[in-house]
């Protein structure tokens, strides 16, 4: 093969390589989803395992959280980013949290606080767009619940008073039933004794 044979051979090789590239490129463009998105016009579809800032769960039946200020999350936190306080509320049995602050500048989203929570009232939020203009990332987790707290406590008092009244009524009914059973047994014994005396 001479010089021109090598040139034409190389050109043929180049064309066959380019045909493979163009074929794969067209398949990729036509069949595959785009890797990038037009953010912020398009928002990403977050995976179920997506982790963002910790938040308190709002339960439907109470329309509030269920934090009892046990401080288990505060004690287990390796980043020391949780500060909370609370105690007994007059008229209800359960303790309630009064302050719940997290410093998300320190939080590593390890999830230990979620694991130890006895009332399962903590979860990862789905907040995606977080931006700040200073270094203060302390967040009051009770902010969205404060307006409803008095109403929740009032409702809880009514529920607990009703439950206590029902419990008292059941106890009194059981006591009366027990007394009636005792009286019936005593009457039966007296009848048996009188029958024995007659015979």
Domain spans, the chain: 54-144, 157-199
Residue 17 has pLDDT above 70, yes or no: yes
> Can you tell me the distance from the alpha carbon of 100 to that of 192, in angstroms, rounded to the nearest whole number?
70
pTM, full prediction: 0.65
Q: Are strands 138-140 and 95-103 parallel, antiparallel or unpaired?
A: antiparallel
What is 54-144's CATH topology? Alpha-Beta Plaits (3.30.70)
pLDDT tens digits along 34-54: 677 888 888 888 888 888 899
Bridge-partner residues for 96, per DSSP? 87
- Cis, bond preceding 177 (omega within 30 deg of 0): no
Q: Supply the pLDDT for residue 190.
A: 75
> Can you tell me the distance from the alpha carbon of 120 to that of 160, in angstroms, rounded to the nearest whole number?
21
> Can you tell me the distance from the alpha carbon of 16 to that of 20, in angstroms, rounded to the nearest whole number?
6
pLDDT tens digits along 142-181: 999 999 888 888 888 888 888 888 888 898 888 888 888 8
> Can you tell me the distance from the alpha carbon of 123 to that of 128, in angstroms, rounded to the nearest whole number?
15
> Can you tell me the distance from the alpha carbon of 92 to that of 150, in angstroms, rounded to the nearest whole number?
12
């Amino acid at each position: 093969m001479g010089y021109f044979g090598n040139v034409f051979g190389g050109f043929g090789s180049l064309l066959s390589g380019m045909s493979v590239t163009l074929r794969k490129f067209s398949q990729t463009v036509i069949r595959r989803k785009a890797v990038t998105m037009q953010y912020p016009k398009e928002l990403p579809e977050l995976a179920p395992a997506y982790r963002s800032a910790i938040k308190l769960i709002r339960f439907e039946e109470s329309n509030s959280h269920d934090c009892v200020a046990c401080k288990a999350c505060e004690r287990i936190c390796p980043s020391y980013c949780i500060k909370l306080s609370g105690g007994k509320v007059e008229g209800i049995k359960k303790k309630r949290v009064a302050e719940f602050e997290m410093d998300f500048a320190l939080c590593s989203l390890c999830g230990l606080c979620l694991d130890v929570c006895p009332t399962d009232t903590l979860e990862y939020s789905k907040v995606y767009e977080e931006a700040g203009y200073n270094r203060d990332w302390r967040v009051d987790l009770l902010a969205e619940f404060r307006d409803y707290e008095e109403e929740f406590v009032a409702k809880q008092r009514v529920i607990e008073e009703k439950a206590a009244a029902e419990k008292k009524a059941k106890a009194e009914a059981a006591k009366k039933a027990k007394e009636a059973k005792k009286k019936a047994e005593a009457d039966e014994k007296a009848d048996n004794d009188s029958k024995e005396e007659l015979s």
